[in-house]
Amino acid sequence: MSEDNIIGEEQIMESEESLVVEEKVIIDVNFIRDTWEKIREEMRKAVVGMDNVIEVLFIGLLSEGHILLEGPPGIAKTYAAQNFAHTLGLRFKRVQMTPDLLPADIIGTMVFDPKELKFRFKRGPIFTNILLVDEINRAPPKTQSALLEAMEERQITVEGVTYPLPKPFIVLATQNPIEMEGTYPLPEAQVSRFMLYLKIGYPSPEDELKIIRLKNKTLERINVNTVVSGRTIIEMQKVVQRDIRVDDKIMRYIRDIVVACRRDARVLLGCSPRASIALLMASKAYAAMQGRDFVIPDDVKHVTMPALRHRIILKPEIELSGVTSDDIVLTILKAIPVPG
């Protein structure tokens, strides 16, 4: 078995002791809830004031969705992603996007092997479990598009040959909202490939003081413990997909929210059915994190903003008036009747 076909050799060749422990564990919603609480506690050792980021990362992982993080530089987006991958026992790779980056720098390229006198495929950093694409809007459109097949199909194609990506696989992308020089804004079609879009601000004064106190003790990287393995994560994903029940009233509620985003007079382009699916899967993941095997309206409300805000394009005159897509989503959530 190739190390890149499932979850990486370090996850496949686990110790016998860890395998015995995992065989005795029943992976259900209670296990997912307990795992989430352990991950959150571990992450708090190294990352201060980013509980919402950690939560969205875990929701995306459970629902097999990609995540776009937007925030100013220096607020620990990359640091949080690295520690998150470590708590999961997954392989992590980071790609710093630059204007001269080529698609081959991400997916890999064909190189000539002088010993065998033939070309072979050299895998790029995309062959990992968690890929952090730092400042994605700095890469040219051609390089950005290299991620599309990987994000949608979990595979890449080079010279007509298709290579499956490891499992689990998610893309975490970051972008800087304030610096526009030398950047290439993501096309709307590509932004829609991200299941969740989270806007991150500066920490509160209290959290800022905690960061200073933490770094006053040591400037070295704080190591977090590994909580689960890649194999267990795949099983948790199956539980979310298979065992979390969604009542027909909840499905209609999700539909009504998405349709309202299309029909709002201030919207030029509304949410597609992909948004409905994203809202459904994120709601199921969040319900499992609460230890429930069914979705309630509050679960849908909780994930609506990160699931829909990036899928709404406002009319130019509305955007110039200061209205944002967040305002549209909030208005719609207040207007749509909550199912009993």
DSSP 133-163: EETGGGS-HHHHHTTHHHHHHSEEEETTEEE
DSSP 154: S
How does residue 38 score in pLDDT terms, banded at 50, 70 and 90? very high
- 313 Cβ contact list (under 8 Å, min separation 6): 188, 267, 268, 269
Please write the tens of the pLDDT for every residue from 162-188.
Answer: 899 999 999 999 988 776 666 788 877
State CA 214 to chain mean position distance: 27
Number of H-type helices and E-type strands within the chain: 16, 11
SS3 (DSSP) at 283: helix
Radius of gyration of the chain (CA): 21
270-288 pLDDT tens trace: 899 999 999 999 999 999 9
Q: Which DSSP helix (H) or strand (E) runs through 118?
A: strand 118-123
Over residues 74-87, mean pLDDT: 90
Beta-ladder partners of 164: 155
Give 137-147 pLDDT, tens digit per residue: 888 888 888 88
Distance between CA atoms of residues 223 and 181, nearest Å: 36
Of 267, 247, 253, which Cα lies nearest the Cα of 311? 267
Return the pLDDT at 19. Answer: 34
Residue 244 clears pLDDT 50, i.e. is over it: yes
- Predicted confidence at residue 60, as pLDDT, reads 96
Structure tokens at 251: 């499905």
- Architecture of the domain delimited by 9-218: 3-Layer(aba) Sandwich (3.40)
- Entry pTM: 0.87
Quote the pLDDT of residue 117: 83
C-alpha pair distances (Å), 282 with each of 54, 145, 307: 14, 25, 8
Answer yes or no: is pLDDT of 194 > 50: yes
- Taking only the tens place, the pLDDT of each residue in 5-35 is 434 434 433 333 333 334 467 889 999 999 9
**Taking Cα atoms as reference points, which of 22, 70, 27, 33 lies closest to residue 285?**
33
Answer with the residue of higher pLDDT: 189 or 13.
Answer: 189
pLDDT for the residue 152: 87
Residues of the chain with CATH 3.40.50.300: 9-218
Q: pLDDT higher for 303 or 188?
A: 303
Residue-level pLDDT at 15: 33
Grouping H, G, I as helix, E, B as strand and the rest as coil, residue 172 is strand
In terms of Cα–Cα distance, which of 310, 267, 256, 260 is closest to 70? 310
Pairing of strands 67-70, 170-175: parallel
pLDDT at 165: 92
d(CA 182, CA 98): 9
Question: Is the pLDDT reported for residue 334 higher than 90?
Answer: yes
Q: Is the pLDDT of residue 2 over 60?
A: no
198, 67 in Cβ contact below 8 A? yes
Q: Is the pLDDT of residue 132 over 60?
A: yes
Q: 5 Cβ partners below 8 Å, 6+ apart?
A: 164, 166
The pLDDT of residue 289 is above 80: yes
Q: Which residues make up the CATH 1.10.8.80 domain(s) of the chain?
A: 244-335
pLDDT at residue 57 tops 80: yes
Residue 278 CA to residue 154 CA, distance in Å, equals: 17
The CATH fold of domain 244-335: Helicase, Ruva Protein; domain 3 (1.10.8)
Contact 282, 290 (CB under 8 A): no
Give the bridge partners for 131, in sequence order. Answer: 93, 171
| Each residue's pLDDT tens digit, 84-118 | 999 998 999 999 998 888 989 999 988 988 888 88
Say if residue 241's pLDDT is above 70: yes
* Residue-averaged pLDDT of the chain: 87
Name the phi and psi angles at 186, rounded to 5. Answer: -65, 135
Predicted confidence (pLDDT) per residue in 41-54, tens digit: 999 988 998 999 99
Say what the pLDDT of residue 6 is: 39
**What is the token pair recorded at 286?**
């969040």
**Residue type present at position 8:** G
Q: What is the mean pLDDT of residues 224-228?
A: 90
Within 8 A by CB and 6+ apart from 115, the residues are: none
Strand partners, 119: 112
% of the chain beyond a pLDDT of 70: 92
Residue 133 near residue 173, CB atoms below 8 Å: yes
Say how far residue 1 (Cα) sits from the centre of its chain. 27
332, 316 in Cβ contact below 8 A? Answer: no
Q: Residue 159: pLDDT above 90? A: no
